Amino acid sequence: MGLPGPTLSAGARALIKRIQPGGFILFGRNIAAPRQLFDLIAELYALSDRTPIITIDQEGGRVSRLKLIGEEPPSADQLRCAGDLALVREHGELTGRLLALFGFNLDLAPVVDYAPVADADNSLRGRCYGATPDEVIANAGLFLDAMKAQGVLGTAKHFPGYTHCGIDPHGDLPRVDRTLAQINAGEMRTFRAFTTSADAFMVGHGHFPAWHAAPFPASLSAKIIRDFLIKDLGYQGLVMTDDLEMGAVAIRYGAKRATQLAIGAGEHMVMFCHNPACAEIARDTLAMMTAAELRPALSALTKIKQKLITIPATFDAGQFKELNARIKSLRERTLNYGNSS
């Protein structure tokens, strides 16, 4: 679930205690200052009966929530253009160290979509590690390995691929007119490469006629998740939805129906990023499902939670300052790469 602001109200605390979400996602609205962020995350741990997944979109470039209190890391596309794998590896290391400093244990990164058209209007501008699957596999794989070496887990997104989306799913459901043969030769070349290294897969909201003739989001599709991702590709990690409050889903389904469809399709976690009432509806919906329906999700969550780091005992302001200086240096070296001056 998402949270309304930088601090928790009494009502928010009571809601969290009551519904016990499996995890939290933080956005810019939750970030005001370094110590405030650390204290907020510490409170989320304290309110949770089991170690919660604490996650954020910290990719680099424009999708870097922590730039509100620190330096902006280079984007995936800027790193790709520099062409130096050492810079990508450093970006992963610094991202992991920065997130662990605050108590984040899962990053919603890397994007493993590829971008043959760099400025396409499909939400991916600047966020992709390559224009081809091979380029993404090399770059995003280095980022992921370096981040995980710091204890922070990673998420491959947005399965089965936003590369050929014509519109941004935040607004409405994009149609991806690709045959299964094309998807297997393109998008799946990258996702297959991450089935053993990515701790989570995030499923996007595209409509793929290769599986469904009528408009239907991939994030709610048993054909795409249970039959293809889990059975055919053999993925054994955590499977989560993208935000179910995005227009692609929200204008068609309420929180209750979206939750039912997602879990029925093989998702292990449903994500509601904005309205806490949606998280409460989701929790009540899950409580009405059978043990057999919930067993795969609970098993996957138990497995990933055994790997989660926890929050440090205190906030290290000195280390935060050091990491900011290194992130600034990395960005400058990336943008100036190859310039003799």
137 pLDDT more than 70: yes
72 pLDDT more than 60: yes
Q: Report the percent of the chain where pLDDT is more than 70.
A: 98
State how beta strands 200-203 and 238-243 pair: parallel
341 pLDDT more than 50: no
Q: Read off the DSSP letter of residue 68.
A: G
pLDDT bracket for residue 169 (50, 70, 90): confident
Amino acid letter at 49? D
Q: How far apart are CA 187 and CA 178, in angstroms?
A: 10
Lowest mean pLDDT among 4-13, 132-141, 172-181: 172-181
306 pLDDT more than 70: yes
244 pLDDT more than 60: yes
CB atoms within 10 A of CB 145: 15
Which two tokens mark 27? 């956005």
Q: How far is CA 184 from the centre of its chain?
A: 22
Polymer length in residues for the chain = 341
Q: How far apart are CA 198 and CA 238, in angstroms?
A: 9
Q: Which residues pair with 239 in a beta bridge?
A: 201
Mean per-residue pLDDT of the chain? 95
Q: Calculate Rg over the CA atoms of the chain.
A: 19
Q: Is omega for the bond preceding 209 within 30 degrees of 0, making it cis?
A: no
Q: How far apart are CA 106 and CA 90, in angstroms?
A: 18
Dump pLDDT digits (tens) for 246-260.
988 999 999 999 999
pLDDT bracket for residue 165 (50, 70, 90): confident
Q: Does domain 22-329 have CATH number 3.40.640.10?
A: no
* H or E stretch at 92: helix 85-102
- Transcribe 133-179 into DSSP letters: HHHHHHHHHHHHHHHHTTT-EEEEEEET--TT-SS-TTTS--B----
CA distances from 254 to 106, 262, 279 (A): 27, 12, 11
Q: How far apart are CA 154 and CA 128, in angstroms?
A: 15
The pLDDT value given to residue 122 = 66
In the chain, what are the domain boundaries?
Answer: 22-329
Lowest mean pLDDT among 22-26, 119-123, 205-209, 282-286: 119-123
> What pTM value is reported for the model?
0.96
117 pLDDT more than 80: no
- Transcribe 252-309 into DSSP letters: T--HHHHHHHHHHHT-SEEE--S-HHHHHHHHHHHHTS-HHHHHHHHHHHHHHHTT--
Dump pLDDT digits (tens) for 309-340.
999 999 999 999 999 999 999 999 999 987 74
Q: How far apart are CA 302 and CA 315, in angstroms?
A: 28
Report the C-alpha dihedral over residues 251, 257, 260, 262, rounded to 10 degrees: -10
Dump pLDDT digits (tens) for 202-236.
999 999 999 999 999 999 999 999 999 999 999 99
Of 48, 44, 51, 11, nearest to 26 by C-alpha is: 44
The pLDDT value given to residue 88 = 98
The pLDDT value given to residue 119 = 66
The pLDDT value given to residue 121 = 63
